Every structure is written in structure tokens, then in C-alpha cells.
Amino acid sequence: MESFLISLSTVAVAEMGDRTQLLALVLAARFRRPWPILTGVFCATIANHAVAALIGHRLGRALTPRILDAAVGVSMIVMALWTLKPDTLDEKSTGGKRRGAFLATLITFFIAEIGDKTQIATVALAAAYSNLLAVVAGTTTGMMLANAPVIFCGKAFADHLPLKTLRYLASALFLGLGVYFVTRTFGI
């Protein structure tokens, strides 16, 4: 349960103001069909985070517990710093209007998530926790919790989000997790 809750909260907070959340907003404004967009985000997230979790799990098995804790801790601290940088979205990355809302969302969201903060967090979480299903379920649920309101409420909702405050909160969460894992490295 711990791995699910940590994964959920880490990704839900980290996704606020992230480029993939901005992408969900653009797709919602473009297609005005929330259910196919939400389904596309869900399918793309499961696929992307499952691959990330498998990579993280492999890394976790290949490293000693001490090196793993250090690597996860340092990666979380780097994520804390990365989170402070606001994301932007290239309008060209949202797919053509000829594609359906689901397919456009599935493809663009999957691609946009590659190398994203939430994907890298999934790698680190899967390396730290042995329950891959709980990690992927948690990160996917966190992604859905962050994106569903944006998809359904669109720009009106996004205009009222305190993105700067949310970035600081996400950064603090990553920093806290990073410090926790680094201190475990040294047995503190």
C-alpha cells in the first residue's frame, strides 16, 4: 500500500503544470470530447509507465540496496530541481485534426511522456519498490487525478490553478523523498 500511495501522490503533484497536463488541456480545447481524451491519457500512461517500471525494476535488481537507495535519492533530488522549471508546450505536438480524439491523445501523450518528470519518477519508484503493479497503478492513478479535471473543465480550471505553488509543493515532495533515500544509504 505504501508503494501505491507514494507513487500516486508523487505523480499527482508532479503532474500539476507539467507539459503533459498542458497537452491534455490543448487536446481538450481542440477536440472538445473529454471521454476519448481521458481514455487516451489512461492507455498512454499505463503503457508508458509500465515500460518505465520494468526498466526501474531491472535497475533495482541489478544494484545493491545501498547503491539503489543512493541512486533513487539523487534522482529524486534532481527531480526536485527539475520541477522548479516551468514546462511549456509546443503547439505542433498535439497531433492533426484528422485523427480522432482518442488516437491523437494516445500517440501524443505517450510520446510527450517519454523522458518526462513523471516517467523518470516511475523508474525511480519502481527501482525502490518491488511491487510493480502498485507502482504503475499509483503513478497512473496520480496522472488521472491530475489530468481529469483539466480535461473536463479545460482552460477555466487551469487558469485558476496556483501553478507556481504547485511546482514548489512537487519540488518539496521530490526533495523529501530524495533526502529519505539518501539517508537510508548511510543508515541514518
What percent of the chain shows pLDDT beyond 90?
40
Least confident range from 27-41, 70-84, 92-106: namely 92-106
| pLDDT for the residue 157 | 60
Query: Per-residue pLDDT averaged across 145-161, rounded?
Result: 78
Q: Looking at residue 72, what is its pLDDT?
A: 74
DSSP 161: S
First-last CA distance in the chain: 24
The span from the CA of 39 to the CA of 111, in Å, is 16
Separation between Cα atoms, residue 121 and residue 88, nearest integer Å: 19
Q: The whole model's pTM is what?
A: 0.74
Q: What are phi and psi of 72, to 5 degrees?
A: -65, -45
For the chain, domain boundaries: 2-185
Mean pLDDT over 150-165 rounds to: 71
